[in-house]
């Protein structure tokens, strides 16, 4: 599982806003129906990004394990037919070319996850989305991060209790209903307590913001993001 | 360090209530994404994730239901392992294994469910919603999830639309079953807190 690792690499020093825009830039560039040479260039760029975040490709593959398995299966599924000749090469190759665009996007995104603390993404969202919606999204993100493990624990408790009472022998619908009801009931109880706590602590529209500043390193990354995002236009013109 | 001096502008009580509820529905969606009940044979596992979008739309309405699902996506993009199999990152939402469209579909679906069920931006009490309206709202959610998810999947994996639809077809009856379970939960009076 990929998660933030503290460090002082180039990727760690970048502003989260430039890293977010870079990911979008790479995704757009990857999906601009690229040629093989274009794709090779993108893999080269990905290698540089992995180096900048000191993240090994092996960790990316391990982090997105199941995803890569599904990606590898896609060409096989695309080529398989339900009658003779059972396997056709053309659709399989089309799928393989499509799937080959995915790893660079995943790798760049993995570098973001590994080098950006969640509070920085929160601050970036607060700056990027103007006004009160941005503030509520930012506060909401922090609270979801706080409550996610608790709700997972709640569901685990419910499941253990069901299993202890022979739940595995019950119908799937019954189990799903019980799990959803109990999970929702506990989540709503928590939300009532959270609302009371927020009101009691004077939840306000004008709290103090964490500092964020673009450094000299950020500007080339921002320029690269724009160039990557615009690259499909250059390609279609050529 | 500079300090701010000025009047504190409090968030009104109603908004605080909606935010708190949206936060917990987002956390519940994230938790339910990690849970599935294995089915016998070669059937796909019974995932509980759609319940997050269903409840977001029905309990919170289009505005706050959409807000809840947007929080879920943003937290995943920030790196919390909230997507299925503990995945995270913007790349997973955009491309991943081709299932990113379903995540976006849940967001749009929650907004659609809320809009159909409540017909205004703030939610009405659940008791005022008739069963046909609830069923319609949730079936529309399932339709939206597939309408966004299947073409997205076809485009990322380079499959034909028919192939992508064939892969996802076994999930449709399960999702319609989930609609009935969700409506049953609401009609059964399990959420008397509402």
List pLDDT tens digits, range B91-136.
999 988 888 899 999 999 999 999 999 999 989 988 888 999 999 9
The structure tokens 């079936």 sit at B139
Q: A77 with B153: CB under 8 angstroms?
A: no
Q: Are residues A33 and A98 in the same domain?
A: yes
> How far is the C-alpha of B123 from the C-alpha of B115, rounded, in Å?
9
Q: pLDDT over 90 for what percent of chain A? A: 62
Residues A230 and A196 in one domain: no
Q: Which residues contact A111 (CB under 8 A, 6 or more apart)?
A: A11, A49, A50, A52, A53, A55
A176 and A145 co-located in one domain? yes
Q: Which of residues 147-176 of B touch A (CB under 8 A)?
A: 155-160, 163, 167
Q: What is the structure's pLDDT at A1?
A: 78
φ and ψ at residue A8, rounded to 5 degrees: -130, 35
Nearest one of A207, A143, A144, A205 to B12, comparing CA atoms: A205
Q: Is residue B10 helix, strand or coil?
A: strand
Mutation choice for A interface testing from B78, B123, B165 by most A CBs within 10 A:
B78
> Residue A81: inside a domain, yes or no?
yes
Nearest CA in chain B to A202: B10
pLDDT for the residue numbered A14: 94
- Domains of chain B (ranges; CATH) run 13-35+44-187 (1.10.1760.20)
Q: Does a structural domain hold residue A208?
A: no
Q: Smallest Cβ distance to A188: which of B26, B91, B193? A: B193
CB contact under 8 A, A1 and B81: yes
User: Can you tell me the ipTM of this complex?
Assistant: 0.89
Domain interval for residue A193: 130-200
Q: How many CB atoms lie within 10 A of CB B16?
A: 18
Cα distance from A142 to chain B (closest Cα, Å)?
8
Contact B66, B110 (CB under 8 A): yes
Please give the pLDDT value at position A103: 93
For residue A209, what are its two tokens? Answer: 């913001």
The pLDDT mean for chain A works out to 90
Residue-wise pLDDT for A156-201, tens only, equals 999 999 999 988 888 888 888 889 999 999 999 999 999 999 999 8
Q: For residue B164, give the chain A residue with the closest CA.
A: A78
Q: Give the up-direction half-sphere exposure of residue B165: CA atoms within 13 A in the CB hemisphere.
A: 6
Contacts of B113 (CB under 8 A, 6+ apart): B53, B54, B56, B57, B58, B62, B65, B137, B138, B140, B141
Residue with tokens 């659940």: B126
Q: Which of residues 7-36 of B touch A (CB under 8 A)?
A: 8-11, 13, 15-17, 19-28, 30-32, 34-35
Q: Which of A1, A136, A203 sits opposite B10 (nearest CB)?
A: A203
A31/A140 same-domain check = no
Residue B189 is predicted with a pLDDT of 67
pLDDT tens for each residue of A95-109:
998 899 999 999 999
Whether A70 and A35 share a structural domain: yes
SS3 B49: coil
Any idea how long chain B is?
Answer: 194
Question: Which candidate, A147, A141, A218, places its Cα nearest to that of B78?
Answer: A141
On whether both A221 and A169 belong to a single domain, the answer is: no
Q: Is residue A3 part of a domain?
A: no
Residues A27, A54 within the same domain: yes
Instruction: With cut-offs at 50, 70 and 90, classify the pLDDT of residue A111.
Output: very high
- A141 and A75, same structural domain? no
Give the separation between CA A55 and CA A70, rounded to whole angstroms: 23
Number of domains in chain A: 2
Same domain, A92 and A187: no
Q: Is the pLDDT of residue B1 over 60?
A: no
> Positive or negative, the Cα torsion across B158, B164, B168, B172?
positive
Residues in A touching B51 (Cβ below 8 Å): 180, 184
The chain A residue lying nearest B30, using CA atoms, is: A148
Partner B contacted by A39 (CB < 8 A): no
Residue A86 lies in a domain: yes
Is residue A103 domain-resident?
A: yes
- Specify the higher pLDDT residue, A50 or B125: A50
Q: Which chain A residue is nearest to residue B36, measuring alpha carbons?
A: A176
Place of tokens 């506060």: A139
- For residue B192, the model assigns a pLDDT of 57
Residues A23 and A110 in one domain: yes
Q: Is residue A33 part of a domain?
A: yes
Q: Which of the four pLDDT bands, split at 50, 70 and 90, describes residue B3?
A: low
What interhelical angle do B50-78 and B13-32 show, nearest 10? Answer: 90
Give the other-Cβ count within 10 Å of A98's Cβ: 23
- Using CA coordinates, name the residue in chain A closest to B177: A173
Report CB contact under 8 Å: A102, B156. Answer: yes
d(CA B192, CA B194): 5
Kindly determine whether residue B46 and residue A172, on different chains, have CB atoms separated by under 8 Å: yes
């Amino acid at each position: 599982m990929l998660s933030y690792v503290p460090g002082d690499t180039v990727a760690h020093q970048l502003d989260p806003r430039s890293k977010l825009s870079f990911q979008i830039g790479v995704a757009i560039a990857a999906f601009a129906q690229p040629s093989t040479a274009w794709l090779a260039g993108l893999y080269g760029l990905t290698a540089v990004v992995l180096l900048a975040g000191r993240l090994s490709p092996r960790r990316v593959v391990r982090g997105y394990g199941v995803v890569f398995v599904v990606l590898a299966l896609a060409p096989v599924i695309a080529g398989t037919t339900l009658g003779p000749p059972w396997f056709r090469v053309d659709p399989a190759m089309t799928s393989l070319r499509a799937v080959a665009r995915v790893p660079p996007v995943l790798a760049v995104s993995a570098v973001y996850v590994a080098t950006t603390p969640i509070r920085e993404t929160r601050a970036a969202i607060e700056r990027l989305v103007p006004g009160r919606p941005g503030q509520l999204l930012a506060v909401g993100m922090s609270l979801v991060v706080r409550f996610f493990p608790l709700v997972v624990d709640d569901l685990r408790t419910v499941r253990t209790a069901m299993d202890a009472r022979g739940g595995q022998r019950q119908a799937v619908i019954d189990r799903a209903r019980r799990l959803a009801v109990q999970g929702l009931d506990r989540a709503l109880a928590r939300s009532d307590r959270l609302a009371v706590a927020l009101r009691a602590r004077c939840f306000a529209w004008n709290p103090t913001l964490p500092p964020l500043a673009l450094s000299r390193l950020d500007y080339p990354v921002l320029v690269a993001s724009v160039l990557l995002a615009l690259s499909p236009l250059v390609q279609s013109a050529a | 360090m500079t300090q701010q001096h000025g009047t504190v502008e409090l968030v009104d009580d109603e908004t605080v209530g909606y935010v708190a509820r949206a936060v917990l529905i987002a956390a519940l969606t994230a938790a339910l994404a990690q849970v599935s009940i294995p089915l016998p044979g070669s059937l796909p596992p019974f995932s509980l994730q759609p319940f997050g979008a269903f409840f977001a739309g029905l309990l919170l309405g289009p505005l706050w239901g959409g807000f809840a699902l947007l929080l879920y996506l943003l937290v995943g993009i920030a790196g919390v392992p909230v997507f299925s199999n503990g995945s995270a990152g913007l790349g997973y939402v955009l491309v991943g294994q081709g299932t990113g469209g379903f995540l976006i579909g849940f967001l749009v679906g929650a907004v659609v469910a809320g809009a159909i069920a409540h017909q205004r931006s703030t939610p009405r009490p659940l008791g005022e919603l008739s069963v046909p309206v609830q069923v319609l709202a949730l079936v529309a959610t399932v339709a939206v999830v597939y309408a966004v998810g299947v073409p997205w999947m076809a485009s990322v994996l380079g499959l034909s639309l028919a192939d992508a639809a064939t892969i996802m077809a076994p999930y449709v009856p399960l999702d319609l079953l989930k609609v009935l379970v969700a409506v049953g939960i609401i009609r059964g009076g399990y959420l008397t807190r509402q």
